[in-house]
């Protein structure tokens, strides 16, 4: 079973193929994904690389954590499982418009 790695500090111009090519120096890459912002379609500056073995994942961490890619210093470590978050509520604004009364001249 492979090990998923978190890769932070990515340049907004880095593409998934460049990430895959770089990490293939440490072993067999199962997948390389850069997380994109849904609204803008632009990179969020981080992604995930899945290596085919735990040994290759450890080698990739040692080789690339703190190294430069596209002018940015990378942070590479074992990815943690995504934490569950409560569902988002409302559609924005959030202003409470009640209960203050008028202009209140005495």
Rounded Cα distance, 100 and 64, in Å: 57
Task: Give the domain range for residue 33.
Answer: 3-78
Report the candidate in 48, 57, 52 with the shortest Cα–Cα distance to residue 2: 52
Q: In this structure, is residue 86 part of a structural domain?
A: no
- Nearby residues of 99 by Cβ (< 8 Å), 6 or more positions away: none
Question: Percent of the chain at pLDDT above 70?
Answer: 80
Model confidence pLDDT, tens digit, residues 32-61: 999 999 999 999 999 999 999 999 999 999
17 in a domain, yes or no? Answer: yes
Q: Which two tokens stand for residue 73?
A: 């210093």
Classify strands 29-36 and 75-78 as parallel, antiparallel or unpaired: unpaired
Tally of domains within the chain = 1
CATH number at residue 28: 3.30.70.330
Residue 101 maps to a domain: no
| pLDDT at residue 13, as a whole number | 92
Which residues of the chain have a pLDDT value below 70? 1-2, 88, 90-106
The pTM for the full model equals 0.76
């Amino acid at each position: 079973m492979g090990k998923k790695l978190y890769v932070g500090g990515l340049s907004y111009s880095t593409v998934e193929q460049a990430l895959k090519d770089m990490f293939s120096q440490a072993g067999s890459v199962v997948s390389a994904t850069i997380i994109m912002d849904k609204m803008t379609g632009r990179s969020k500056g981080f992604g995930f690389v899945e290596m085919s073995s735990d040994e290759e994942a450890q080698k990739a961490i040692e080789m690339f954590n703190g190294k430069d890619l596209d002018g940015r210093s990378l942070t590479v470590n074992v990815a943690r499982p995504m934490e569950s978050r409560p569902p988002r509520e409302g559609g924005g604004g959030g202003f409470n418009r009640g209960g203050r009364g008028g202009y209140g001249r005495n």
